[in-house]
Amino acid sequence: MSTEPVLGEPTFLWDDDPPAPSPSPGPAPARGPTDEERTGVPAEPGLWIFVLGDMTIFGVFFVVFAHYLGEDRAALKASASALHQQIGAVNTLVLLASSYFMVRALHAYRAGSARLRADLGFVLVGGAVFLTAKVAEYALVLADGHRPGTELFFTLYFAVTGVHLLHVLIGMALVARWRAVSLRGRSGRIFAEGVAVYWHMVDLLWVVIFNLVYLGATT
Amino acid sequence: MPELAADARVPRSVRVLCAALIVVTATTVWVGSGHPGAFGAAGASATLVVVGFAKAWAIGWWFMEVGSAPRVLRGLLAVWAGGFATACAVLVLR
């Protein structure tokens, strides 16, 4: 276990572990259970309210999309054929790889391994590749004359992929923050696990978006 | 290169899951690119949607470590994936 000091983190949702009391003479008091030992929940319960709420909002979108797909399959299929499935497939594999490196990063963090920074770097590279591919895909779709508001499919497509892209950017900012903190010391457990959970949520939502919007509508 | 502590290694279950997700992704891309097979168009769409939610559940269970979390969190993940998968599949199959 690393003895490096715990550095401060943003307090949004996952406030850091409370600081250890200053040493005092006499026998050390018995250590109480940590939050994780008490609840068994990765990061903290409050984060999961946010994560599950976010997932539910996306879930409602998925239901809306499925409703229109069942109602007028021919129209959605005609629009969806203009999508670039290969880019979506590449982005699915890129996010999967980045999730793998995030698992590695969290295990490295818990073991106090210096591999943490490299793993977080790979996660950031994955996010950057996803971002670049998504911007390229938007450019291709717009160049073909498809815009939000002109076709139902592309209104839904730009809405859900746009909001998801915002989640990717937020996730990258959090990963970059974790990596920056790790260069100077050791970040708090709740922050580290919170960033990991958030990044995996980004991956989780994308696999449904890909199967529903890119594949389900074109079959 | 120093040997990694045992805790720093990625569990075998996660590595197996990654490999499985790659295979499933490749298969679904093939089905979704004009090979619905015996499912028919609507059946293939519904199957792809259900497979997508199954992948999402697996990511939650192993990557997000919900599998080792309390029962309530495991249940909420299952309800989210199962509930939305069922709703979407029913709507697609109408």
What pLDDT is recorded for position A6?
54
Q: How far apart are CA A135 and CA A69, in angstroms?
A: 25
What pLDDT is recorded for position A219?
81
Distance from CA of B79 to the nearest CA of A (A): 11
Which residue out of A69, A113, A190, A211 would a mutagenesis test of the B interface target, given it has the greatest number of B Cβ atoms within 10 Å? A211
What pLDDT band is residue A39 in, cutting at 50, 70 and 90? low
Distance from CA of B51 to the nearest CA of A (A): 8
State percent of chain A over pLDDT 90.
78
Q: How far apart are CA A172 and CA A95, in angstroms?
A: 12
Give tens-digit pLDDT for A95-146.
Answer: 999 999 999 999 999 999 999 999 999 999 999 999 999 999 999 999 999 9
Instruction: Give this complex's ipTM.
Output: 0.92
Give tens-digit pLDDT for A47-75.
Answer: 999 999 999 999 999 999 999 999 999 99
pTM of the model: 0.86
What pLDDT is recorded for position A26?
44
Q: Taking residues A13-30, what's their average pLDDT? A: 45
Owner of token pair 């709507």: B91
Q: How far apart are CA A2 and CA A35, in angstroms?
A: 19
For residue B4, give the amino acid letter: L
Which chain A residues touch B87 with a CB distance below 8 Å?
A: 63, 66
